[in-house]
Amino acid sequence: MLEINNKKSPLVLALDIGTTKVCALAGFRNEFGKIEITGVGKVKSEGVSKGVVSNIDKTVKAIKEAVSIAEINCGKKFENVNVGIAGQHIKSLQHHGLLVRRDINSEIDENDINRLIEDMYKLVLPPGDKILHVIPQEFTVDNEENITDPIGMSGVRLEANFHIITGQVSASKNIFKVVEKADLKVGDLTLEPIASATSVLTNEEKEAGVALIDIGGGTTDVTIFKDDIIRHTAVIPFGGNVVTSDIQEGLSVMKDQAEKLKVKFGSALAEEIVDNRLIVIPGYRGKEVKEISEKNLSRIIQARMEEILDFVAWEISRSGYQNKLLAGIVLTGGGSLLKDIDLLAELHTGMISRLGEPTEHLAHGYNGDLTSPIYSTGIGLLIHAINQGKFEDEEKIADKENSELEYEFEIAGIENTKQENNSSKPGWLNRIFSYTKEFFESTPESEF
């Protein structure tokens, strides 16, 4: 839960590089501990396959476009960005750590915990893999088990169980490469399922036990929490794009038509289709129109979603927490927007399900589109970027913002900006209003 600290955080940027979209979000934490989004840029992703960068140039172009839109919206140029990493190369493992303390009279402090965590980074992994996250679970102090926070306790033998998440070195290097080619620096690299969990799960759900299912375009991420600790993570190599491909092949339609059919008329539960309407789509290059049964469309979608949920159920069973998740399943990501997907999940897994929207930490007055599960990962990455606190001093940032605003004014065609640098405060505000007015008059409406 975000703390109320009566102090605003600096403005930061998060970047979600997905299979279907590249999304840049700029925002800050206000004095009430809530996240305020000041800039959103979303463009189609063409250089990413199953969560992994497959075309450098196309991905760089998409990143530049998305970041540029977000920067214009919030009136600030960014140098650092918090980026998410995902893909079927992501794996997880459990490991046990042990630290024997020499000074038995002193209390256990944060340095002891950090030494245990640093030891985990020395693990020998398969060639080509690297450790992305080391997450402590339970601690043991002198045979006293199930301690969540040992700081302040006395003891000689400090042990801990760790959940370790690994990924391919090449995949993370490609992310760094595309971000640097887009003239940005990676401030932090965060696993996307963890970011999504930050934005859509409540503390009560993570305490009671919950499985977060993030259905993206190329992959489906599974993250299991119990006692407010990550217990299991997994990546299933199927997502919304596979459903689109099934519709394309099963109904013999074009790919863009298949996507529109899925979004506008698709349902994950064919039984819920009462009025079996016929959907008429135009023929290709003058051919006859095609009539498609709404129930048949839903049967194709349901078959593939049941397969994905089979993998989800298997991962939950493999984690050992099958009967311990009192909060059930939370579905998020673009794939969760399918009609009746929560009903299908309940019927197929026997667990209660709900749709996860990233509104838990947002301040009032946000754009209604931001409540969509599509933005769960992006908002989670933004929260992580703010919580990391790896920013410049606020005074430097304020000075930098002023110079960047002047730069934006010049781009907008306001030539007299430099001449007014020494003017009074009201004149400076007038320049901002002039710039804002011209920007909205000259910029066409986007998706948001």
Residues 127-164 have pLDDT tens digits of: 999 999 999 989 999 989 889 899 999 899 999 999 99
Same domain, 154 and 255: no
The least confident of 61-75, 362-376, 414-428 is 414-428
* pLDDT, averaged across the chain: 84
The least confident of 92-101, 301-310, 401-410 is 401-410
CA distance 260 to 98: 54
The pLDDT of residue 389: 67
CA distance 188 to 195: 12
CA distance 156 to 364: 49
The model's confidence at residue 118, banded by pLDDT at 50, 70 and 90, is very high
Q: Please state, for a pLDDT cut of 90, what percent of the chain lies above it.
A: 58
The model's confidence at residue 274, banded by pLDDT at 50, 70 and 90, is confident
CA distance 413 to 405: 13
Q: Which of 167, 182, 202 is the last residue of a domain?
A: 167
The model's confidence at residue 435, banded by pLDDT at 50, 70 and 90, is very low
* Backbone φ/ψ region at 321: left (φ over 0), alpha (ψ -120 to 50), beta: alpha
30, 3 Cβ separation under 8 angstroms: no
The boundaries of the domain holding residue 98 are 91-167
In-domain check, residue 63: no
In-domain check, residue 27: no
Q: Which of 167, 194, 219 is the last residue of a domain?
A: 167
The pLDDT of residue 273: 85
The model's confidence at residue 290, banded by pLDDT at 50, 70 and 90, is confident
In-domain check, residue 333: yes
The least confident of 15-29, 49-63, 378-392 is 378-392
For the full predicted model, state whether its pTM sits above 0.85.
no
In-domain check, residue 120: yes
Residue 421 has pLDDT above 60, yes or no: no
Give the count of domains, the chain: 3
In-domain check, residue 244: yes
Q: Which of 167, 189, 204 is the last residue of a domain?
A: 167
Residue 408 has pLDDT above 50, yes or no: no
The CATH code of the domain that includes 278 is 3.30.420.40
In-domain check, residue 85: no
The pLDDT of residue 230: 92
Q: Of 212, 283, 213, 215, which is closest to residue 244 (Cα–Cα)?
A: 215
**What's the rounded mean pLDDT across residues 349-372?**
85
Same domain, 322 and 257: yes
